[in-house]
Chains A and B, each alone.
Chain A
């Protein structure tokens, strides 16, 4: 059996490296379009201040981008190094969008980044704008393909199990690409990036305005960021809601968990704003509720019921029992792949194969599973509630606060009085970390909420790891975290230094 310490350490390492990577990604996604907007104004009006804005924010973009690439290299290879069985089991499907990402998106983004920085003197004005646009397009396409891959882990469509190769295989490429889960996730995630980029520019511009330096530069940057940020914040919330709808179709356990909904309620279910969660007794000690809200959001109907955690666990217990038969049928058909009768039996049980595999956390041979093991596996088939419940509320709360900030910033920039509102400028400045916190909380909900699966309903997390030792994992975990932390410190130092220097870093005493 796989050492549970190996599984835990592999998960911690993946979470750490992925969350580190996502410190840098959202800023790239959003800031790249802001650069396009600023440079477009420059090309249309010929006003040099917009070129300097593009170059200055571009410098900060570059400082961030370098670490995005550094931490991204790990992500491309870590499935192989640390999740070898996952890579074998679903690589036929999951590998495709990753490879396409490289060929279609990351090549474009990376090639254009070079020309963005070094092509100012060699390209015409529209030529350079084209480069900046392609860079932003590449970054966003990149996100689309990665989220198609992740969307499949959340809702594994377009694929089937092959007993001979002992893995999931692609049956319908377009179902994978246009999966509802993937599309909703994509727009939700890139919009979060747009909010991040906008708040970064809004916050730093506000700081210049509060200090009274680089006024013209900061005013223009503030306006562009306010408009783009408002659009992003609206989109992130609408598509977050769409993601919630997609989740309710594919992962009822995630939805029940983030809502701490223990019992199946009569439709439409209420929404818990806050609650005191009691995991032990599978109930909330108390909760403040909005009646009907959850049912309406998650099912778009007033009659459809949403199952509570207790009901989901009971249903999963039945599927685990049927899954034992599926595992046994698979072993039989693998010995005689040509036997049509055995194959037919396996196909009839295939949908519960993953549930049978959940038992492998407790016993090597699922035939030996005791009722106690089955009960434990069913209990663990829904993740722990507390952190999911609160990280979801953290994300949504910050999202709404950012929407309010951008709405006020946009309103004030339309009325041209934001310089007279130091409270607004301070709010923008001190809120710079907010989108990052919301993004990381969002990934926590998406990934921890899918547990105990790496691919929902198909492959349990504890079977997905590589055959490594605990010592290997301690070594690499400390290596990654130590190295990344060191680089993050360097990055923050440069980011603060260049933000302080301001546009003067391009040519002293200009704006």
Chain B
């Protein structure tokens, strides 16, 4: 149905959709987890927060799992190179995520305050650490990652974990942490009431401003650093491997796509619109609109980064020609085609039953509800 080049482009978009789905869905329960020790002043407050996402966090986490699986299936080069190269960064994320399933499930199984406090910190770490590391990882994509490929396509990483934690990448970490925090805060503003809701609304204002400052700051830095440009590449609709192209580094090159196609500037603009919408709507008491605004910000921040990098996925600072791109890091035609059909059939089904689940569990979670259902709730 589609030619290989179009399929490669579609899969770049689909991986983007999965990352955006992750940020919007798992993002809001990670945001709630991040805000848990900050907004939850007593055990009941914290249980209100936890139970606002309790029926959904598990399903939402599958956006992350499926994102990993989709990168494996569609971009095996990226899956292999990125996760083995940034070994300790990914392991840090995984170890932090371990706290979530057990934290949610076990926390309220015993009344002991020390037990509960320990799991609360576990839930905080399980939410805040991945939210931070994702931004740090994206930041390092803009700087280039020090890996090389040998003739058999085996990848070698020559950097260290600590080198990932450079100032620019940490600034990107602030972007992602405040972005997912904003998702959580708008969600809490919508699903809670009373003083907890007031604190959530305050968090929305703070996080929206932090997000816009950090996002703008990151944009300024990206303007000043060297980007990557493909100098020559064989037919992108053909069967190629990453070592068949030539790549050079040029200052400001990450803005190239926006300069070529100015309409793309509307994407980062939506980030500002979304964050401001969240901020204003929450003040006007329109909490659902605030959540939509925050979700728009998730969508456009990720898309901005993706479009700036395009067609690069994982630029290599150690061996620029080995950089992985949407043209040469993909699966075969057969796999991309099969997986496209799978995605077209099952994504709408997933969205349908997820919406139904939110519909069934809609409404505010209150302190009274927690007290009345002590044994049944998280």
Contacts and interface: CB of A to CB of B under 8 A. Distances in A.
- Determine if chain A interacts with chain B: yes
A362 B253 CA distance: 45
Given A95-B79, A115-B55, A467-B84, A106 B62 contact: yes
Contacts of B65: 72-73, 76, 102, 106
Contacts of A165: 153, 239-241, 332
Contact of A81 (B90, B104, B347, B377): B90
Contacts of B240: 164-165
Given A85-B80, A468-B87, A69 B61 contact: yes
Interface string A107-125: 1101111110111101100
Interface residues of B, number: 69
B338 A95 contact: no
A241 interface: no
B84 A490 contact: no
B155 A467 contact: yes
A74 B101 CA distance: 13
B104 A101 contact: no
Interface in B91-120: 91, 94-95, 97-98, 100-102, 104-106, 109-110
Contacts of B350: 103, 107-108, 111
A466 B94 contact: no
A474 interface: no
Contacts of B66: 99, 102-103, 106-107
Contacts of A164: 239-241
Nearest to A469: B87
B27 to A, nearest CB: 16
Nearest to B331: A92
Contacts of B68: 76-77, 80, 102
A483 B95 contact: yes
Interface in B65-92: 65-66, 68-70, 72-74, 76-77, 79-84, 87-88, 90-91
Given A166-B241, A479-B95, A119 B338 contact: no
A66 B101 CA distance: 5
- Most B CB within 10 A of own CB, among A76, A95, A113, A115: A95
A82 interface: yes
B335 A92 contact: yes
A475 B338 CA distance: 38
A357 to B, nearest CB: 10
A170 interface: yes
A171 B332 CA distance: 9
B61 to A, nearest CB: 7
Given A99-B73, A115-B361, A505-B375, A169 B332 contact: yes
14 contacts: A67-B102, A70-B101, A73-B98, A84-B81, A96-B335, A100-B346, A102-B69, A102-B70, A106-B66, A111-B357, A114-B55, A123-B360, A170-B334, A467-B156
Interface of A: 62-63, 65-67, 69-70, 72-74, 76-77, 79-82, 84-85, 87-88, 91-96, 98-104, 106-108, 110-115, 117-120, 122-123, 162, 164-167, 169-171, 173, 334, 466-468, 472, 475-476, 479, 483, 487, 490-491, 494, 498, 505-506
Given A111-B56, A115-B361, 13 more contacts: A70-B102, A73-B98, A84-B81, A87-B76, A88-B81, A92-B331, A98-B73, A103-B69, A103-B346, A110-B61, A162-B332, A170-B335, A466-B87
The 6 closest A-B pairs by CB, nearest first: A91-B76, A80-B83, A102-B66, A95-B72, A95-B73, A111-B59
Interface of B: 54-59, 61-62, 65-66, 68-70, 72-74, 76-77, 79-84, 87-88, 90-91, 94-95, 97-98, 100-102, 104-106, 109-110, 151-157, 239-241, 331-332, 334-335, 338-339, 342-343, 346-347, 350, 353-354, 357, 360-361, 375-377
